[in-house]
Chains A and B, each alone.
Chain A
Amino acid sequence: EAGVTQFPSHSVIEKGQTVTLRCDPISGHDNLYWYRRVMGKEIKFLLHFVKESKQDESGMPNNRFLAERTGGTYSTLKVQPAELEDSGVYFCASSQGRGPYYEQYFGPGTRLTVT
C-alpha cells in the first residue's frame, strides 16, 4: 500500500511569489490534515479535511494560505504571496477515521524556503 506522498520535496522561492504544495493521501482515507514545522519549533496543525470539506481550519495562519481538496482525493496548499516567516516543513497526513484513536500517517513533508 502506497503511503502519503507530497510534492515537491523542496521549494525555494522569493518573497512575494506563489507556491503550491500537493499531498496525495493513502487511498481510501477520507481525513486529510496539513501541519507545519517552523525551524526550531514544534509541528503545528493547520487544517483538517473530511473528504472535500474543510472540517477545521483553525490553525491556518492567515488568508495568504489557501487549501483545497477537490473531489476528496489529493489536496493542495497554496501560499500567496509568500513571506519569509512561511519558511518551514509542511507535512500532510491522512487517517481512516477522524476520532482520537486513529493513527495519522504522515508524508515526508515539503521543505519550503522563502528568500
Chain B
Amino acid sequence: ILNVEQSPQSLHVQEGDSTNFTCSFPSSNFYALHWYRWETAKSPEALFVMTLNGDEKKKGRISATLNTKEGYSYLYIKGSQPEDSATYLCAFMFDSGAGSYQLTFGKGTKLSVIP
C-alpha cells in the first residue's frame, strides 16, 4: 500500500504572507509527482508535474521543489492572496503493473487566506 502524506492538514494565513506545505511519498520506484489545486465543486487544476530529483517549477507566485531520494516535495506560495484559498493535493504516480500508471493522492492541505 502506497502512502502519500501531506502536511499540514489545514492552514490559515494572512493575505500577503508566504507559506509552504509538504508532500511525502515513497522514495523507491519513482516516476512522477503531480500537484493539483482544488476548489470544492470545481475541477482539480493541474499545477505541476515533477519528474526529476532536484526539479524546481514555478507558475506565477506558486513554486514547487522535488527530492526523490528522500521522498518529499514542497509547494510554496509567495504573497498569498484570498484567491489562493483552496485545497492543494499532491499525487504520486506509480506503475500499477497492468500497463497503467495510477495517481495515488494525499488527503490535501486546505489553505485559507484571510483578507
Contacts and interface: CB of A to CB of B under 8 A. Distances in A.
Nearest to B93: A100
B106 A106 contact: no
A106 B99 contact: no
Contacts, number: 71
B102 interface: yes
A27 B115 CA distance: 39
B56 to A, nearest CB: 17
Interface in B35-77: 36, 41-46, 49, 51
B102 A59 contact: yes
A42 B88 CA distance: 12
Most A-side CB within 10 Å, residue of B43, B45, B95, B107: B43
Nearest to A100: B31
B49 to A, nearest CB: 6
Contact of B104 (A9, A45, A107): A45
Given A42-B108, A104-B46, 19 more contacts: A43-B44, A44-B105, A48-B100, A55-B99, A91-B44, A98-B100, A98-B101, A99-B101, A100-B51, A101-B31, A101-B32, A101-B51, A103-B46, A103-B49, A104-B34, A104-B103, A105-B46, A106-B36, A108-B43
Interface of B: 4, 31-32, 34, 36, 41-46, 49, 51, 89, 91, 93, 95-96, 98-108
User: What are the nearest 5 A-B pairs in CB distance?
Assistant: A56-B100, A100-B31, A56-B98, A100-B93, A100-B32
